[in-house]
Amino acid sequence: MKLSAVERLRRFYHQFSGQDRVLIVINADPDAIASAMAVKRLLWRKVSSVTLSNINIIKRPDNIEMVRLLNVHLIYIDDIREKQFDRFIIVDSQPDHHGLFAGFSYDVVIDHHPGTGFTAPFSDIRPEYGATASIMTEYLRAAKIKPSAKLATGLFYAIKTDTRNFERQALIEDIRAFQFLFRHANIHLARKIEQADLRLDFLKYFQSAIRDMRMRRGRVFVHLGSVMSPDVCVLIADFFMRICSVRGSIVSGIYENTLILIFRNDGLHKDAGKTAKSGFGHIGSAGGHKSMARAEIPVTNLEEITDYKNDKAVSKWIIHQVEKKQKKPNVNFKKELLGLKG
């Protein structure tokens, strides 16, 4: 039986008492941050206190700007003492998603990712939704709460981000939430957050990407070598897709002993998800959608395939894998790249 928004809200409130000290735990990104803000607003004057805690170190410029501009107070998980709290909530994730979530027994789980089988006294998991922020907007409306400009802006931006401006999976409920929030959000503030995607120290990667890029059949290939964050690969892959003659981009870099590959396509000529899986799924994790995908390969898996410390060798191997779509690793390809005889 499908529950109404009002009934879900009633069951949610039933988990708390006025003396509760509540901890909301998130893996901080726009959807998680905004959803946690919404839960905090729902519990205002319903409990003794609400604290927000992030398990990840926030590095993305837009996430940093979101926290700053919306005045979100987060406490890093290492500084949290479990005994200080009576109730625990997780939003936009589930306890099985990360080892750092496992330190608490959750009373409430609200998420839009596929269920992992975890049970809690109150669970609201709706994988058909494009964003958890859409679910939280329904809770606010059921509670007849008019969101502040900052809360509405956070939820508005979260839906934009997680649906990629409705290019990804979304429901009519996501659109309704978006329309409602549009009336209350500060659009200029949302745009400022959205545009804060670059850091000064990222520019050196753009310089090397433009210098070393290789164009093959309308696709740009770039290997950046070691990078300070996988976000650099994402930014550069998206950057090349803004060039009119580019139909796809594949940007890679090594981060924490893992080769990160970001795939972007125009959605007309190739399928990024299939390309990622067929070229790299046999030696790491790979997948995605038609227009965007990602692969992650531990460098230890590359030792018999290519010299991962040689940027040119890695770049040639990636191009080879994408264009040939090998299903099995070619253990002799390392010798071929290095110009060695078998």
pLDDT at 196: 85
The Cα 266–Cα 292 span in angstroms is 9
- Do the Cβ atoms of 251 and 222 come closer than 8 Å? yes
Nearest-CA neighbor of 75 among 67, 86, 66? 67
Strand partners, 25: 53, 90
Across the range 191-218, mean pLDDT stands at: 91
Residue 46 has which token pair?
């319903």
Terminal CA-to-CA distance of the chain, rounded, Å?
65
Q: What is the pLDDT of residue 334?
A: 52
- Are 109 and 94 a contacting pair, CB within 8 Å? yes
Q: Is the distance from CB of 239 to CB of 251 less than 8 angstroms? A: no
Checking if the pLDDT of 327 tops 50, the result is: no
| Domains located in the chain, CATH noted | 5-195 (3.90.1640.10), 203-337 (3.10.310.30)
How far from the centroid of its chain's Cα atoms is residue 109's Cα? 18
Among residues 215, 220, 254, 225, the alpha carbon closest in space to that of 237 is found at 220
Q: What is the mean pLDDT of residues 37-58?
A: 96
Q: Check residue 115 and report its DSSP letter.
A: P
Is 267 a residue whose pLDDT tops 90?
no
Q: What is the mean pLDDT of residues 64-72?
A: 96
Q: How far apart are CA 299 and CA 225, in angstroms?
A: 12
Percent of the chain with pLDDT over 90: 74
Average pLDDT, integer, range 223-241: 93
Q: What is the 3-state secondary structure (H, E, C) of 24-61?
A: EEECCCHHHHHHHHHHHHHCCCCCCEEEEEECCCCCCH
The residues near 127 (Cβ < 8 Å, ≥ 6 apart) are 112, 113, 114, 115
Helix ranges (H only) for the chain are 5-13, 30-42, 61-69, 132-142, 149-162, 172-182, 187-195, 203-212, 230-240, 272-280, 311-324, 333-337
The model's confidence at residue 271, banded by pLDDT at 50, 70 and 90, is confident
What was the pLDDT predicted at 304?
A: 87
